[in-house]
Structure 1
Amino acid sequence: MTGAAWGLGKATARRLAEAGAAVLIADIDEEAAAQTASELAERYSANVKSVCMDAADSGSITAVADLAERLFGGLDIWVNNAGIPSFTPLLDLDDEEFDNVLAINLRGAFVGAREAARRMMARQSGGVIVNVASLAGVMGISEGQAAYCASKHGVVGLTRQMSIELAGHGIRVLGVAPGFSLTEKTMFIAEWDEETIKSCPIPGIGGSRLGRVGVADDIARAILFCASDLAMFMTGSTLLLDGGVAA
């Protein structure tokens, strides 16, 4: 899976390894990816490997798909999680930043899904592709999110379209759309005072209808569900994981 060295990706890799899957941790942070792979392999006695991958580079993604085939004998599950944020207001957003966000968040997901699907089709054994979108993929969220929202709306649409084209090959395609979730890199927000949280325009940062903020494992559990036979009659859908914020 991509973007799996930390955060939502690491939590998902942990759940997959715990469930007995062989997992390839692909991330641009090579050192963190290797550390995560070593940690999960030891904890779950699982086959977990790591590789450096740049989600903006199609050749790098293709190389990861090739490596996964060589290491594990084929691909059954592909999770597109790699992504970057953008906080630049619309009128200050230049072409370069916009293109870079879409290259990683949207084109990276497209290339990953395409390469996984090619290999799944060649084996004629079906498979599951899970795309990590966002609450920003179904609604506008706050100032400075034009590039990010555009990329994640694209991931939701891509998920629907890919499900149509791949269903005949036994390949299910699902999306998950997390709201704000605490991870290693956002945990500092839990220490904000009440007034700072109230003034923050990001939906869900102060909690949800369920009375708490989301955590990485909330998303990981949903991805594990999508990848499992429990979701075997689901394809094309994007599951909203926001604790009811958008309701």
Structure 2
Amino acid sequence: MPIPVPDVSSLPLAELVSLSGRRAVVTGAGQGLGRAIAQRLSEAGADVLVTDVDEKLAASAAETLKGRALPVRMDVTDPSSVSAAADRAVREWGGIDIWVNNAGIFPSVPALEMSADTWDEVFAVNARGVFLGAKEAARRMSEAGHGGVVVNVVSTAGFRGTAPGLAAYVGSKHATRGLTRQLALEFAPMGIRVLGVAPTFVPTEGNLAAAGVTDPAEASHLMSVMQPTILGRLGVPDDVARIVLFAASDLAAFMTGSTLLADAGETA
């Protein structure tokens, strides 16, 4: 029998935004956007499984959270690793209510110079990893019979082309945006919502390294010239994290299949 998403119209605002009693898994949460997302979900009351391929980063991030947090090493490209992390959340906390597919990579290689291995590596993390995470989350949610939410961190690159050298990244993010729509359709009868959040460039440890700089102020100056926004500044990780929190909460209870732009008006 299909599980309907509940009508939450009678709930006060504080309850709509609260994640108290909910169990969340965030991938790539050791730093950058994932760490900011984990922090906001924790602040809203969720128990958070902080996963990252780098176990030390996951442990460091988990220590900063306000509520219950558990660091777990997870390789999003490995089905057994993803399944084990999902099982850990169920074993430790009794279930999964929210799964955020945030992990991603973005090597810059001109298309004519890109090897098939590099292409496959990007798609393995950015598209296959999203599919594996969403599937394992939906399986646990369905088995528990209570529905849930999957949030996929896409990118403005999922709406258009971007800088030269990012063919694999752009392709993988278009795939993730399409997967978001399809999984929303397939998971809806289980009471599971699937939403995407598409940020523009936000200075994080990962993309600062990709830009070849270590000083956020330097990157801000560079990117403000390359990609000006109508809001007068570049985004910060928490700008994206707050939108993920919205998508994961009951404030967005009547939304599924959409990808929300977190881009300061950049994308036409």
Contact 2:33 2:240 in 1 (8 A): yes
For residues 113-192 of structure 1, the aligned pairs below 5 Å read 113-185=134-206, 186=208, 188-191=215-218
3-state secondary structure, aligned to 1:149: helix
The percentage of aligned residue pairs carrying the same residue is 53
The alpha-carbon distance between structure 1 residues 120 and 197, as it changes in their structure 2 partners (threshold 3 A), is: closer
Match of 2:7 in 1: none
Match of 1:93 in 2: 114
Match of 2:16 in 1: none
The alpha-carbon distance between structure 1 residues 32 and 94, as it changes in their structure 2 partners (threshold 3 A), is: same
* Letter of the structure 2 residue corresponding to residue 10 of structure 1: R
CA–CA distance in 1 between the matches of 2:70 and 2:220?
40
Please give the per-residue CA displacement for 1:153-179, whole angstroms capped at 9, x wherever unaligned: 000000000000111111000000100
Matched, 1:29 2:50: no
CA–CA distance in 2 between the matches of 1:24 and 1:210?
33
Please give the per-residue CA displacement for 1:101-125, whole angstroms capped at 9, x wherever unaligned: 0001100000000000001001110
Contact 2:184 2:192 in 1 (8 A): yes
* Letter of the structure 1 residue corresponding to residue 199 of structure 2: P
3-state secondary structure, aligned to 1:39: coil
Contact 2:106 2:122 in 1 (8 A): yes
Matched, 1:109 2:130: yes
Please give the per-residue CA displacement for 1:2-38, whole angstroms capped at 9, x wherever unaligned: 0001000000000011011000000011011101111
Matched, 1:55 2:76: yes
RMSD over aligned Cα, in angstroms? 1.5
Number of residues paired by the alignment?
237
The alpha-carbon distance between structure 1 residues 28 and 193, as it changes in their structure 2 partners (threshold 3 A), is: closer
Calculate the TM-score normalised by the size of structure 2: 0.85
Contact 2:33 2:241 in 1 (8 A): yes
Name stretches of at least 5 consecutive residues in structure 2 with no aligned partner.
1-25, 209-213
Match of 1:4 in 2: 29
CA–CA distance in 1 between the matches of 2:220 and 2:151?
36
3-state secondary structure, aligned to 1:143: coil
Q: CA deviation at 1:183?
A: 2.1
3-state secondary structure, aligned to 2:267: coil
CA–CA distance in 1 between the matches of 2:109 and 2:80?
29
Q: CA deviation at 1:189?
A: 4.4
Name stretches of at least 5 consecutive residues in structure 1 with no aligned partner.
none
Contact 2:224 2:234 in 1 (8 A): no
Match of 1:67 in 2: 88
* Equivalent residue in structure 2 for 1:39, among 40, 64, 83: 64
* Letter of the structure 2 residue corresponding to residue 246 of structure 1: T
